[in-house]
Structure 1
Amino acid sequence: MFGKVLKVILVLGVCTAVGLGGLFATGALGVPDAGIEDNAWGEVDDDRIEVVTTVWVDNPNPGLEVDDLTLEYALWMNDVDLADGTAADVGMPAGNTTTEIRSDLRYQHLSDWWVAHVESDEVSDLRADVTAHVEWGPLSGAPSYTHEDEVETDLEPMIADSMAQLEGEHSLSPVEGGGALEPTVEIRDTDAEWGEVDENRTELHLTYEVHNPNAYPLPTPALTGEMEFNDHLVGEWDAHEVEVLHGGYDATIPPGESREITFVVDLDNDDVVQWFATHVDGEEVTDAELRAQLAMNVDGQTMTIPGDEEAIHCEYDLRTDIFVDQESGIEQTGCELLPWATPDQEEFDELEATLELDDALLAGDGDDGERDEGDDADDSDEADDDTTGDDAGGGEIGGTDSLLGTVD
C-alpha cells in the first residue's frame, strides 16, 4: 500500500514539474524580475549613514507565490564601493510588490570617494545594482537591474564666488590708529581651485591678483579664513598655516605693478566626511558659511582687507540630488563684513611678511623698502615671476570697493 502511494506522489511530482516546464516553455509562466524603485537616506549618527533601498519585484505567474527570494544590493560612486546589503527569504506573491533593503555606507571608504570626486572636477558617476535570486524549479534565475546617475557639486565655484567679494580698491589704515602711511591696494582678480588631494588631506588654492598703485612697495599679505558647513568647521586657516606658491612671503609688490599670489590651504578629509553626514541628514541641504581676510604689515603697522579688522562673510545654500529629488546647485543668500581676528605681529614675523620703509622712500625718491632682516625688497621681488599690470574695477561696500553679487 505504501509503495503505491509513493508511486502516485512521484508521478504527480513529475507531472507537476513537466506541466510547469511546459507552461514556462510556452510563455505562460515566467521568471520573476526585480529593480530599484527608490533610494533614500535612513538613520545617520556619528559613524553610520544608512541607505534605504526600495526594490520592486514582479512575479508574472498568477496563483504562484515564491517565498524564498533573496535580494542583493550594491552602491558605487566613481567606482568606490560604498554600500551593499541583502534581504533573504523575501515573499513574492503574484503581481507587483515592493520591499526594502537597508544597508550602511562604508564610512572608511567615504574619504576615497571624496578624493575621486575632487579629481573628477566634483562629478561622481553613481551606480546602484539589485539582483534577485530565485530558485523555484524551471522558474529559477537571477535577474539584475542597474540604476546609473551623475552627481555634481559646486564647492569650487562657491568658494571662488566668496573670495571674489574682496575684489576692488581698498584704502588701508593702521588698525591701531596713528601713522602717516595709508596705502591703496587693488584686488583685481580672484580664483579658487582644488590642488593636490590624497586620502588624508585636500589642498585648496586661493589666488588673488594684487595691484600696488603706490609710489612704494608693499609686502605679501597674509590670509586668514574659515569654511563652516552646517555648523561644522570644514576648513580653518591661520596666517602661519597658509603657504604661498611662487615667491613666498618675502617677495614684495613693486610700485605700480601687480602680483598674482596663490595661497595654499589644507582641508582634513575627516572633516569633509563628518560634514557629508550632516549634509545627507539634512535632506542633502547645507548651510555654508565662508570668511576671509587679507592683512599687510608695513613699518610695524597692520592693515586689513577689508578695513577695520573685518572679514568678508558669505552664506550659501548648497543642495545635491544624490538620493533626494531636488535641483542641485548653490545659491548665495548674503554677504557682509564682520569683525575678525587679525594676525598679530608675532605671526607676521614668523612668516617674514613684514616690510620697513625708510623716510626717503616715503618722500617719493623711488628707493626700495627694506625687510626686517635687511634684505632688499626688490631683490626678493625679482625671484617672483608672477608680475603683471592689468586693469580692473568694482563697486563699493563698507568703505571698500567690492561687488556683492550672486552666483550665476
Structure 2
Amino acid sequence: MDLPDPVRSVLAALPSLRTAVVGIVVTLGVVALLATALVATGVIAQPTVESIDNEWGEATNETTQIETQARVDNPNPIGIPGLLSVEYTASLNDVVLVEGKESGVGLSPGENTIAFTTAMDNDRIADWWVTHVNGDERSTLTIEPSVSGPGVSKSLPEQTSTVETDLLSSFENGTEETVSVDGEPLLTIGDRDAAWGEATAETTPLTLTAELSNDHDRPVSFSGVEYVVTMNNVTLGAGQTSDGIDLSSGESGTLTVDAALETAAFADWWPTHVRNDETSRMRVELYGLVDRGGTQTRVPIQLYQQRLQFQTDLLGDDGTSVESLSSTRDSVAVPTIGEIDRDWGTVTDETTEVHADTTVDNPNTDPAVNDLVRLTTTAETSINDVFVGSGSRETTLESGTNELRLTSQLDNTKVPTWWARHLNRGETSAVSTVTTTTADVGFTTIEVPTDDVNSTTETNLLADLNTDSQQSIGGDGQTYFVAESTAAEWGDATPQVAPLDAQSTLRNEQPVPITIQEIQYTVSIGGVTLADGSQLDGTTIGSGERGTVDLRIDLDNSRMDEWWLTHVRNGEQSTLAVDVTATIAAGGQARTIPLSMFSTNETVETDLLG
C-alpha cells in the first residue's frame, strides 16, 4: 500500500519507540497524531452517530437522571482508540433539559453502543411547562448530537419529535351531575369547561366554568369558592376566590372560577410522574365558601370535581393519553330529631318558660362538617288558636347523640284570651306546639323532619253546681229550703268577663213565706279573687211552694293571668272557691244563710303540656 509521507515517517519511528519501552506501549499523543493523520488523509473513514435514545433514570426531589444510549457506527475495518467524544443537547421548546457528553470513547469496527447518564435539574420541567401551556399543550423535543475527536468534529442531523397533551379535554363535559345532601337534590351541574391562561414562571392560570341549576326549594348562595388542584397528591394550586353565585329556587347561572397554579410546583410533581412510569392522576376540586361570622368557611361538599389520569412519553415516540376517572362526592347527612318531652321552667310575672327536651342523632363524623352545619329549631306554641309564645335555638352538633333543650317564652298576658276560649269550648283547651328544624349547611338550608306536639286538657269547674240531688238550705238549726235541683253554665266569655249563670229550684220548708232579698257571693281561684259582690233578688216563695232563684256572677277574667302564675307554680293545681250566701226575710225576721247549692270548694287540675 502506498502511504503518504507523513504516515510513512510515523511508522518509521515506531521501531525506535518499541526499543525504548518494555513491551509494546504507544502513547496517547502518538495515537492521536496517528488517528488525526489517518482521518485527515481519508485512510480512516469518519464514524457516524446513528441515533441517540434517552430514558428517565432515578428521580430525586432535585434532579432526574437521563440515561442515554448512543449508537455510533465505525465503518472502518479496524477499531478506533478512546479518543472520541459524543455530545448531545436535549430540549423541549428551546428549554434545555440536559447537555450530555461522553469523552474518551473508543470504537470497535461496526456498530457501537455508548451508554452514559446525565442529571437534569427538575426546575427545567417547570420552565418547560410554561412554554407547553402557552403553546396549547404542544411541545417539540429536539436532540442535537455531535461527535468530535482527533480529525473529527461534526454536528449531526438533529432528531425532533412532537409532544402533545390535552389535559383539559376531560373537563369539557355536558353530562349532568347532581349535588345532594342526604339524598335530597340541591344543585344540578351542567356544562363544564376549563381553559389555561398565560403561564409565567410564577403562575399558571386555570379558569373553570360550570352551569349550575338550583333544584332546591330554597335559595342557594356561595360567597366564594375554594379550589384545590393536585397531581399525584402534589398540590399544584390551592386558594380562595370571590367567585360566588346566588341562585333562587329553580334559577340557573354560570359559576366561573379563576384558579392560579404555582408553576414552580411542577418541579415537585415531576419526580412522582417519572417514578410512576410517566403516569399521573390529576384532581381538581371546587368547594363553595360561605360567610360564618365574617370568616369565609369551606362547605365540605365538592361543588365541582374532576379526576383524570394521563400518560406521557416525553423522551420517546409513544405519545400521550388522557382518561377521565370516576369519583365520589362527599356528602352531608341531615341529623334526625327524636321525641320531644316538655315541662315548665321559670315563671315570672310576665312570662312562663317551657322546656322542650329532645335527642338529636348526628351521623356526621367529619369535624369540618360538624363545625359548619348549624341546626336551628324554632317552636311556636298556641293555646286554643291563640299564639302565646315561641322559642328558637341555633347550635352545632357533636357526632352521635346530642341532648338538646329548647326554651320557649310564653306571654302570660295571653292567658285571659285563651282561657275565655277554654270556657266557650266546653272547658276544653287544645295546646299545639309547631316545631320547625332546619339544617343550615352553609350554602342553603334543609328542613329536618320534626314532630309537632299537641295535647288537650279539660276541666269541669261547674261539676258540683250541676246536680239533681236535694240539698237542705238553712242555718241556726233550721231548714229554710230544700234545693231540689241546681244547674250552672258559662255565658259567652271574653278576655275581660266570664259570665256564670246558675239557677236552683227551692222548696220552702217553713210555715211562712220566705223572701230572698239579696244574694252575696265571692269567687276565687288559686287565691286570686275573680268576683266579690251581690245582687238584689226579691223572690218570695210561699210555704211548701217552689220557686226558682237565678244567680249571675260576672267573673273578672282579666285576672286569670295572675291565677296562671300560682297554677303553674303549684304543678297545674288550683283550688276553686265559690261562696254564696243570701239575706232572707221570714216571719218578720231577716237573717243570712249559706246557699250551699251555689257554693263549692274543689281542686282544679290541668295538664296543658300533655
Fold-level similarity (TM above 0.5): yes
Residue matched to 1:142: 154
Pairing 1:122-137 to 2, within 5 Å after superposition: 122-136=137-151
* 1:192 paired residue among 187, 191, 194: 194
Matches for 1:242-391 after TM superposition, within 5 Å: 242-244=241-243, 249=244, 252-253=246-247, 258-294=252-288, 309=301, 315-323=307-315, 326=318, 328-339=320-331
Work out which of the residue numbers 121, 124, 132 in structure 2 matches 1:106.
Answer: 121
Paired with 2:276 and 2:107, the residues of 1 have a C-alpha distance of 34
1:81 paired with 2:96, answer yes
Indicate conservation of the 8 Å contact 2:88/2:101, yes or no. yes
Are the equivalent residues in 1 in contact too, given 2:225–2:242 (CA < 8 A)? no
CA-CA distance at 1:30 after TM superposition: 2.0
Q: Is 1:31 the counterpart of 2:46 in the alignment?
A: yes
CA distance in 1, matches of 2:68, 2:7: 47
Deviation at 1:322, TM superposition (A): 1.2
Q: CA deviation at 1:320?
A: 0.6
Query: Contact (CA 8 Å) 2:83, 2:103: kept in 1 or not?
Result: yes
Counterparts of 2:35 and 2:218 in 1: how far apart (Å)? Answer: 97
Higher relative contact order (CA 8 A, sep 6+): 1
Instruction: Give the Cα separation in 2 of the matches to 1:223 and 1:56.
Output: 54
- Contact 2:52–2:145 under 8 Å retained in 1: no
What secondary structure, in the 3-state scheme, does the structure 2 residue paired with 1:118 have?
helix
| CA distance in 2 between partners of 1:143 and 1:332 (Å) | 44
SS class of match (1:336) = coil
CA contact (8 A) 1:291 1:313 kept: yes
Gaps of 5+ in 2: 1-5, 14-33, 333-365, 373-610
Q: More strand by proportion, 1 or 2?
A: 2
Higher Rg of the two aligned structures: 2
Whether 1:42 and 2:57 are equivalent positions in the alignment is yes
Contact 2:189/2:211 (CA < 8 Å) preserved in 1? yes
Q: In the superposition, relative to structure 1, how do residues 130 and 22 fare at CA in structure 2: closer, same or farther (>3 Å)? A: closer
The 3 A distance-change label for structure 1 pair 185 and 338 is closer
Within 5 Å, give how 1:222-241 maps onto structure 2. 222-237=224-239, 241=240
Residues 294 and 151 of structure 1, relative CA distance in 2, 3 Å threshold: same
Determine the C-alpha separation between the residues in 1 that align with 2:67 and 2:7: 49
| Aligned ranges 1:215-226 → 2 under 5 Å | 218-220=220-222, 222-226=224-228
Alignment equivalent of 1:91, drawn from 106, 112, 132: 106
Q: CA deviation at 1:227?
A: 3.0
Match for 1:208: what amino acid?
Answer: A
Relative to structure 1, the CA distance from residue 243 to residue 110 in structure 2 (aligned partners, 3 Å threshold; closer, same or farther) is farther
Equivalent residues of 1:35, 1:145 under 8 A apart: no
Identical-pair percentage: 25
Structure 1: gaps of 5 or more residues: 1-5, 176-181, 348-408
Q: Deviation string for 1:149-179 (max 9, x for gaps)?
A: 1112232224455xx67x3455668x9xxxx
**What displacement does 1:339 show?**
4.7
2:80 to 65, 71, 74: 65
Query: Is 1:116 matched up with 2:115?
Result: no
Residues 33 and 218 (structure 1), Cα distance of their counterparts in 2 relative to 1, 3 Å cut: same
Structure 1's 96 and 344: CA in aligned 2 closer, same or farther, altered over 3 A? same
Residue 89 of structure 1 and its aligned partner are, at CA, apart by 0.9
Q: Give the aligned partner of residue 169 of structure 2.
A: 157
1:295-345 Cα distance to aligned partner (Å, 9 max, x none): 6789x9x9999xx94666654331111135645212234222235889899
Question: How far is 1:275 from its partner?
Answer: 0.7
2:125–2:266 CA contact under 8 A, matched in 1: no
Q: Counterpart amino acid of 1:338? A: D
User: What SS does the corresponding residue of 1:337 show, helix, strand or coil?
Assistant: coil
Q: How has the CA–CA distance of structure 1 residues 57 and 291 changed in structure 2, closer, same or farther, with 3 Å as cutoff?
A: same
* Residue 205 of structure 1, aligned match among 204, 207, 211: 207
Aligned residues: 313
Q: Is the 8 A contact 1:172 1:303 kept in 2?
A: no
1:18 & 1:69 partners in 2: Cα distance? 11
- 1:360 aligned residue: none
